[in-house]
A and B are shown apart, each in its own frame.
Chain A
């Protein structure tokens, strides 16, 4: 059907090759000479300009394919639409909210949703959006107004390059329930009672979410460094936060005081 230029990893080396995209399989050309039926693909992950294609098996072999954006888009589309996955026709809106800011030109797009091993993909004529399951921060079955009617939708909050993005999926309620239950089940280790933090802890969490550093948080909430450290410890212990780096607070030694005192003296 279509032949596209790619680089494929073989024994740790990138090999220049071509892929012949057929209806049922993709044929990796010289020097690999290998056919990969789409039905043997169970997962697809994109990292920068590299596609990680996982094949059936325990553990499944991972084929790494690099190419330009346009080629990868074509490959992704055909793999997502033909691989071994749960697929449903749906409308989706992604992103609807990014970092808390409403995307005013967001629109519902008709397409397909494919649920793969490590994530879900939204695919429309013009768009391919991947939501890795480990990046899903929240799922909710809710209602949203579409053409003046309240309809059921699944709202998915997920992280994309450290930004919290909200996407919506719209399809018949029975299918929506399947998707919701699947996502709920695969991310159940993130479920919490909601009362693990006191009011101050929740405020600290909110400020971290907004991008405030510890100095700004101490000033805003008027808490001591020691108290804030305790709240951080609790957030870490609950798995709600992780240490980015440890900043040192130091004081000058007598040698340091002498050095600085000398340094600020006017030149003789």
Chain B
């Protein structure tokens, strides 16, 4: 089970992801609503994994991923985006994302992906 930081600009999505991860026995160590806050909380909390929305105000998810990977090259970040933004996948994976989930998603598959990434 991992210590997880959830990054998404909508409270609804953060709550949904939090519920899913919590049901899988994970510990939610923090939440952030934009890329800047995500980077700051990553430094502060040192989570085992980050779920990162791609499209966010201020600093977007890809940029935040870059900054987090610069701080910690072993950081495990799973990107999260809406249907139709799959072209971001390549860029995110090139930038160092360990996994990618597309909204809407199903809880068991998300937990499986998180488990895989935590074990990698």
- Which A residues are closer than 8 A to B by beta carbons? 97-102, 104, 142, 144-145, 163-164, 166, 203, 206-207, 209-212, 216, 220
Instruction: Give A212 to B15 CA distance when docked, in angstroms.
Output: 12
SS class, residues of chain A in contact with chain B: mixed
Inter-chain contacts of A99 with B (CB < 8 A): 105-106, 108-110, 112
Docked pose: A211 CA to B16 CA in angstroms: 10
B107 near A212: Cβ-Cβ < 8 Å: yes
Give the CA-CA distance A166 to B18 in the complex, in Å: 25
CB-CB under 8 A from B113, the residues of chain A are 101
Q: Does B103 contact A (CB under 8 A)?
A: yes
Return the chain A residue nearest B80 by Cβ. A100
**In the complex, what residues of A have CB within 8 A of residue B108's CB?**
99, 163, 211
B interface with A by C-beta (< 8 Å): 12, 15-16, 19-20, 84, 86-87, 89-90, 93, 99-110, 112-113
Number of A-B contacts (CB under 8 A): 69
Interface of B is mostly: helix
C-alpha spacing A164/B110, complex, angstroms: 12
With most chain B CB atoms within 10 A of its CB, the pick from A102, A104, A163 is A102
Q: Is the CB of A164 within 8 A of B100?
A: no
- From A97, A101, A142, A212, B112 is in contact (CB under 8 Å) with A101
Q: B89–A98 contact, CB under 8 A?
A: no
Q: Closest residue of chain A to B84, judged by CB?
A: A142
Cα A144 to Cα B89 with chains together (Å): 11
Q: CB distance A101 to B19 under 8 Å? A: no
Output the residue of B87, B89, B100, B106 with the most chain A CB within 10 A: B106
- 15 residue pairs A–B, Cβ–Cβ below 8 Å: A99-B105, A99-B112, A100-B109, A101-B102, A101-B109, A101-B110, A102-B86, A142-B84, A145-B87, A163-B106, A203-B12, A210-B105, A210-B106, A210-B107, A220-B15
Considering the chains assembled together, what is the distance between the CA atoms of A212 and B84 in angstroms? 24
Which of A97, A102, A164, A212 makes the CB contact (< 8 A) with B19? Answer: A212
A209 touches B106 (CB 8 A): yes
CA distance A100 to B108 in the complex (A): 10
